Chain A
């Protein structure tokens, strides 16, 4: 992230307040002990470690977080919040930041992760339960992997093996209370 531009340009002084008020997470309690990050299983793939995410919120470095891969790669394993001496709910903070991006603050740095979540929710909205077959098809098409023969082959082989072993369901189950579920989506999803 080092550029010749002065860092000061990036600073949004109201960001900390905004995050704390909207998410109810006490981000300013962090004293940078890094205990969260020592136990985080995903740091090998992240662009910023969890303690840096917390630090960036405190410093008002909003854009860096909006553009980061880390918020999408956090697996919500809750190791960090379990060990944080200040009980800062980092996975909840990551969700909050993902929410900002997906409701228009930017583009997800891990496009396929966001796409997968969207396709998953579409399936739940359509049936009330997720239908893995339909979810995978939607994901493959929209991620462009439908046009990559190797990916298609890999998935077809896995699907076939799952089917033979009775681990693949071929039709969705539609719940009776689908109406209710769809109302929840109307109210709470974008």
Chain B
């Protein structure tokens, strides 16, 4: 199986752990990832906030390059995915005059790709270390699911892809009502207080549900929940200690990939006490 890959800017820096786990996992599953040649930033929230037209052309350049490579485009960052999918739709409608697009490929969210039966079936056959005893909250965030007019999903109020993946790993996916709530990603720098409140609510709920950890598929969510957890604890007078895994890290763990500890060592909230206690490391 061959696909194109658009890592996005954060996977070269803050989310290098996510990138490493994706590369390792696709290697094990026999999926060939080829990075879109000379890709550029999608412009993120900043471009669509100040110039929707700029956002569209920045994203479209990447989609068109992926089509030239002739393979579906897999995107890990939910924000990039949302922008690239929006551009794909506009290209299909012929509203981006700068580019020609015949529509032969699709932009796909990495979580949807990994939980499709073509990948999931391969994965399940290879599991050698089921994650028994781990109680996980699947946190999808907003950009991978909404709006349905663009993303084309019918389950955006209660997505289940990650729940199915986590269960396939042998862990328990705890049901909860905040699956697709927003972490405030784009405000992490300019209005930290807002992010603290939004993420604080998620932490309180996680504690109330008795979950061990969060599982995410977006590096913005990961950064907000993991890197700021200590600060948010202080701000709210709490002692949260809730590891935040990428779903690919849990998959790697279930396959017994040798680099899992290396990926996890980049987290701010150390997951090893939890995993040791459950004898999963």
Contacts and interface: CB of A to CB of B under 8 A. Distances in A.
A74 to B, nearest CB: 9
A184 B142 contact: no
A128 B41 contact: yes
Contacts of B12: 129, 169, 173
A55 B185 CA distance: 27
Interface string B29-64: 000000000111101111111111110011001000
Contacts of A95: 48-49, 52
B186 A75 contact: yes
Interface residues of B, number: 54
A124 B265 contact: no
B230 to A, nearest CB: 10
A155 B182 CA distance: 24
B43 A121 contact: yes
Contact of A169 (B13, B147, B148): B13
A30 interface: no
A185 interface: yes
Interface string B182-203: 1011110111011001100000
B227 interface: yes
Given A167-B15, A169-B13, A180-B61, A124 B47 contact: yes
Contacts of B185: 75
Interface string B243-281: 000000000000000000000011110000000000000
B133 to A, nearest CB: 27
A188 interface: yes
Given A136-B189, A168-B14, A117 B194 contact: no
B186 A129 contact: no
B111 to A, nearest CB: 17
Contacts of A139: 189-190
A114 B45 CA distance: 11
B146 A77 contact: yes
Given A167-B14, A169-B13, A181 B58 contact: yes
Interface stretch (A1-9, A13-21, A40-48, A57-65): A40-48
B182 A112 contact: no
Given A77-B146, A121-B46, A169-B12, A188 B182 contact: no
A173 to B, nearest CB: 7
A11 interface: no
A99 B266 contact: no
Nearest to A123: B41
A3 to B, nearest CB: 27
B40 A181 contact: yes
A113 interface: yes
Contact of A166 (B40, B149, B266): B266
A143 B12 CA distance: 26
Contacts of A96: 52
A156 to B, nearest CB: 14
A167 B266 CA distance: 7
B161 interface: no
B13 A78 contact: no
Interface of A: 41-42, 44-45, 73, 75-79, 81-82, 87, 89, 92, 95-96, 98-99, 102, 110, 112-118, 120-121, 124, 128-132, 136, 139, 143, 158, 161-162, 165-169, 173, 175-177, 180-181, 184-185, 187-190
Interface of B: 9-10, 12-17, 38-41, 43-54, 57-58, 61, 142-143, 146-149, 156-157, 180-182, 184-187, 189-191, 193-194, 197-198, 227, 265-268
Q: Which 5 A-B pairs have the closest CB atoms?
A: A78-B146, A77-B182, A169-B13, A120-B46, A117-B46
Given A79-B182, A173-B12, 6 more contacts: A41-B182, A75-B185, A76-B45, A76-B49, A98-B49, A116-B189
